[in-house]
Structure 1
Amino acid sequence: MIRIEKIAIIADDYTGAGDAGIHFARFGRKVELLLHIDALTRKRRDNIDIALTSETRFLDPDAAKGVVSDMVRQCRAAGYDRIFKKIDSTMRGNPGSEIEAVLAATGLSAALICPAMPKTGRTCVDGEIYLDGVPLHQSDIGHDPFHPLSSSSIADLLRLQTDLPIGFVGLNEIEAGEAALRRTILAMLERGIRLIIADATEDRHLAALAQQLAAGDLLSVGAGGLAEALARLCAPEGLEGREERKLLLQRPIVSVVGSLTEVSRRQAAHADKSGLFRTIDISSDAPAADIRMACETRLSDPSRSQPNILLRVVDGERPDKISREDGERVAEKLGLATASICSLVPCRTVVSTGGSTSMAVAEALGIESVDLIDEILPGIVVGACNQPDGSIEWFISKAGGFGDDSLLTEIDARCVSA
C-alpha cells in the first residue's frame, strides 16, 4: 500500500474519466466526476479524488495542450498534486500533446505510459497495441470515422504530436523484478528519455508498472488497466480487494447509443431485436421540434409495452471519416432527445455509449457531477447523479468500442422494475 492524499484524473472525454476513476472508487476512495473544471472551486473537497474530462478528443493538438495545461494548474492549486493522465486505450485524440502538457505543468521529468487493458482484450506487445490479438490499425477501432489510424505503434502515434525522446520497456524487463525494472527506468532517465512506453499483456504486468509509479517521480499515463493497478496499490488499509456493492438500478432504462463504431451498432441492433426496448431512431439533421415529436409519438404508441427505451442515430452507411462538427451535432441531438424522453417518462437510469454522447446527454439532463459508484461489467461505469431536481438517479457510461453484442440487454438484466 502507498499513501496518496488526493488524485486528479484527467481524461479527454467523459467515458475515459469514468473508466479510470471508477477503479479508485471500487478500492474504497471517494471519486467525483466533474463535468466542468470550474466546479472544482464551488465546494471544498477533502479526501475526495476527482475525475475530469478536458473534452479535447477532437481539438487540434496545440489547442488540446493549452486546455490540459490550464486544467493541471487548477488541479494543483486546489491541492491535487498527484495527476493520473488517462489516455484512450487505442490512442485516439491527442495523447502526445496532452502528456507533454502535463509534464510541463507538473515539472515531472518523465511519463510511464501503458494503454493496455488486458481484461477487455487490449494488450501492448513490442510497443504495439493489439485488440483481441488484432493489430490496432487493422481493427474496427482503427477505422474509427473520427480518428482513423495508420499504425499500431504507440511511439509512432505519439510522435505525431510530440518531439519528446521516447524509450521502451518490454515484457522481459517488466518480469525481471521491481529492482531490475527500476534500474532500467533510471538508466532511461539518465539518457534523457521523457516518454517511457511499457508493454503489458496481463494484470501482473500492470501491477509491476504501478509499483514504479509509487514514488510519484513519474507521471502515470494509461487507460483503465493501469488505473486499476494503481488504485489497488493505494487502496485504504483493509480494502486491497475490490469492494462489492449492491446497487438497485431501476427500469425503465433509457439507453443512448451515440458511438458510431461497428461494435456499438451491433449492440444497438441486438437490443432492438430483444423485445426489451422501444427503439427511437432519429436523424442527426432533424430539427429539435421533430425530435421531440418523434419521441412523443413513439412513447405514446399503445401497442408498445417494452420496459426500456433505446435511442440511436440513423444516417445510413457509416462514412470513412466524420468531422468534429458532425460528431458534435450527433451528440447534441441525442442529448436533446434524451431530455425529451426523460420529461415524458419517469426514468431513473440512463445508459450512454460514447464519450461525446455521454457528455452531451449529461449536460442536457442538468447533471452537474457524478459520484462514481461501481463497475457492473468491465468498462461499464455506474455513477450517482448530482442533479438539481434529482430526477435521474443513475448515469451509466460506456466507451463505444468494446463489449459483447448483448451488452445493453445484460445491463437490463441487472435492473428491477420501478
Structure 2
Amino acid sequence: MTANTTRALLGCIADDFTGATDLANMLVRGGMRTVQTIGVPASNETVEADALVVALKSRTIPAADAVAQSLAALDWLRAQGCRQFFFKYCSTFDSTDAGNIGPVTDALLDALSAEAGANAAAFTIACPAFPENGRTIFRGHLFVGDTLLNASGMENHPLTPMRDANLVSVLQRQTESKVGLVRYDAVAQGVSAVRVSFDTLRNDGVRMAIADAVSDADLYILGEACADLTLITGGSGIALGLPANFRRAGLLNEQGDAAQLPQVNGLSAVLAGSASKATNAQVAEWRATRPAFRVDPLAAARGENVVEQALAFAQPYLDKAEPMLIYATATPDEVKAVQRQLGVNEAGHLVENTLAAIARGLHERGVRKFVVAGGETSGAVVQALDVHTLRIGAQIDPGVPATATTGAEPLALALKSGNFGTTDFFEKALRHLNGAAQ
C-alpha cells in the first residue's frame, strides 16, 4: 500500500475543547499530523492531515443536541475520507444518567452501521483509562490514583457529579443497548485474547463494552485489537495504540515533524475557570508569587463591570510584558454557594462568558499567547477569539499539548482540562509557548 499524503485516516469527535487537544496530543506523539477544528467546519474542503479532531462543546448540553452535533461532525469527517472514527470523552467519564456518552455512542454506531452493513459497526469499546494521569480501570471500576472515582473529588463536580465508579453501571443507565466488560484477564493475555472477548461479547448481544486497562501497555494492546472496529470510544489514552495500526497497514509514514508549530510573538496571559482540585492548586501556586485577579460571579450577576475591572488590573502588567492570571476558580463550597444564588447552568455560563469577554479584551491589547484552564472555559475562549482550526504541537504535561492557530497571524494556546497538569503548570506552559512552540 501507499502511505497517505492528503486524506485523513482517523476522524475524531471530542465532547469538549481541552479533551480534543488531549486526544490530538496523543496522536501527534504517535507521529500523526493532527489538525483540530473548533466545531464542525462549514466547508468540506480537504484538510491535509493524518488525523482530524472535531472539538464540540457537547458534554453537558441536552442529549438530543449532543447527538445532533456529533452526527454533523461524523458527516464532515466522512467527507474528509476518514477510515476509522473515535468518540472522545473525559478520562473521568464525566456524564449524567441521561448521557451524553451512551446516546452519542448509540447514534454513531447506528449511523456507521447503516452505511457499512448490519454488523460492521455494531460493537465498540468504552475505555476512558489514562494511566499516565492516574486514571485506570479494573473490573469495570474507574480509579483516580488509588481512589475510586466516586471518592476522588469528582463526586462534587458542579455539572457532572460522578457518584458511581462502576462504569458498566454508569453507561448502562445511559443506553438501552447491552453494556458488557472486556475484563483485565483478557487484556493481560494480549491482542488475540481481547479480540476473542470482542467476539464473545458481540455474540451475547453486547453493543458497548467497558475495557479494563491499568497501564499504557494495556492501552497499546487494546488499540491494536481495535484495528478493525469502525468506531472506538474512550479517553485519549486508548489512542496510544491507534497510529501503529495505520502504520502496519502501510497507510502512515513516520512523521518526524508532526509536532512542529510556528513561532508566535506577543504578550501572554493565563485564564482559569475550572473548579477542579488540580486547577485550584495551580491558581494557588501562581498567586503565591505572581499577579492575579479574581472574577467574582456574584459581582457580575449584580451588574458590576468585572470585565473592565479585570482588564484595568491587567494593563500595567501588559505594559511591562509581564503575564498575569485572571481566574474564576473556586473551592467546591464556594461554587455551590454561587450556584444556590444563580442556578447551576446560569453560574457556569456567566463565568464562561465573562472570561471569554476578558480574553477578547486581552487580545485587543496585544496578548497572543493564552494558557486556559478548564474545558468549558477553553471552549468559550476559543470561540471568543474566533479560532476555527488548531495545529497540535508537543506535549507540555500529560494530556496537554501546545497548539497554534492557522493563518497569517497565529495565536499560541495551551488549553488545559481542569483536572490535568502539575502544580506549576501555568509557569511551565508559558515557558513552552514562549520558547518551545516553534
Task: Measure the CA separation in 1 of the matches of 2:86 and 2:286.
Answer: 35
- Cα distance in 2 for partners of 1:237, 1:303 equals 43
How far residue 263 of structure 1 moved from its aligned partner, in angstroms, is 1.9
How many Å apart are 1:71 and its aligned residue?
A: 2.5
Instruction: Give the alignment of 1:258-337 within 5 angstroms.
Output: 258-275=273-290, 278-284=291-297, 285-286=299-300, 290-301=305-316, 307-313=322-328, 317-319=334-336, 323-337=344-358
Paired residues of 1:128 and 1:154 also in contact (CA < 8 A): yes
- Give a deviation string over 1:266-307, Cα, whole Å, max 9, x none: 2112112133xx312222352898234313421344899682
1:393 aligns with 2:411: yes
Is the CA contact 2:282–2:423 (under 8 Å) kept in the aligned structure 1? yes
How far the C-alpha of 1:252 sits from its partner, in A, is 3.8
> Which residue does the alignment assign to 2:24?
21
Give the alignment of 1:34-49 within 5 angstroms.
Answer: 34-41=37-44, 43-49=45-51
Corresponding position of 1:379: 399
Q: Which amino acid aligns with 2:387?
A: I
Q: Sort the Cα spacing of 1:222 and 1:158 in 2 relative to 1 into closer, same or farther, 3 A.
A: same
Is 1:356 aligned to 2:350, yes or no?
A: no
**Would the aligned equivalents of 2:33 and 2:258 in 1 still touch at CA under 8 Å?**
no
Q: Distance in 2 between the 1:210 and 1:2 partners?
A: 22
> Distance in 2 between the 1:11 and 1:137 partners?
23
Q: Do structure 1's residue 224 and structure 2's residue 236 form an aligned pair?
A: yes
Q: 1:307 to 1:127 in 2, by over 3 A?
A: same
* TM-score, structure 2 as length reference: 0.85
Q: Deviations over 1:221-260 (max 9, x none)?
A: 1111111221344353445x99675885767421110112
Rounded to whole Å, the distance in 1 between the matches of 2:387 and 2:190 is: 45
CA drift of 1:83 comes to 0.8
- SS where residue 159 of structure 2 aligns? coil
Amino acid at match of 1:22: N
SS across alignment from 1:404 = coil
* Structure 1 residues 3 and 118, CA gap change in structure 2 (3 angstroms): farther
Contact 1:137 1:143 in 2 (8 A): no
* Structure 2 CA distance for aligned equivalents of residues 87 and 178 of structure 1: 24
5+ long unaligned stretches in structure 1: none
Q: Distance in 2 between matches of 1:177 and 1:302?
A: 55
Which residue of structure 2 aligns with residue 204 of structure 1?
A: 217
Are 2:10 and 1:10 equivalent residues in the alignment? no
Residue 140 of structure 1 is matched in structure 2 by 153
SS in 2 for 1:109: coil
Does structure 1 conserve the Cα–Cα contact (< 8 Å) formed by 2:137 and 2:211?
A: yes
TM-score by length of 1: 0.89
Q: Is the 8 A contact 1:15 1:354 kept in 2?
A: yes
By how many angstroms is 1:48 displaced? 4.5
Alpha-carbon distance in 1 for matches of 2:88, 2:330: 31
How far does the alpha carbon of each residue in 1:95-147 deviate from its partner, in whole angstroms, 9 at most, with x for none? Answer: 11111111111111101121100000110011011001110011112311111
Q: Which amino acid aligns with 1:311?
A: I
Structure 1 contact 72–106 (Cα < 8 Å) conserved: no
Residues 1:77 and 1:274: Cα distance change in structure 2 (over 3 Å): same
Distance (Å, rounded) in 2 between the aligned partners of 1:406 and 1:47:
32
CA 1:53–1:301 in structure 2 vs 1: closer, same or farther (change >3 Å)?
Answer: closer
Q: Secondary structure at the match of 2:390?
A: strand
1:119 is the counterpart of 2:151: no
List runs of 5+ in structure 2 lacking aligned partners: 114-120
Distance 1:110 1:404, change over 3 A: same
Distance 2:49 2:264 in 1: 27
Distance 2:74 2:39 in 1: 13
Deviates more, 1:121-130 or 1:150-159: 150-159
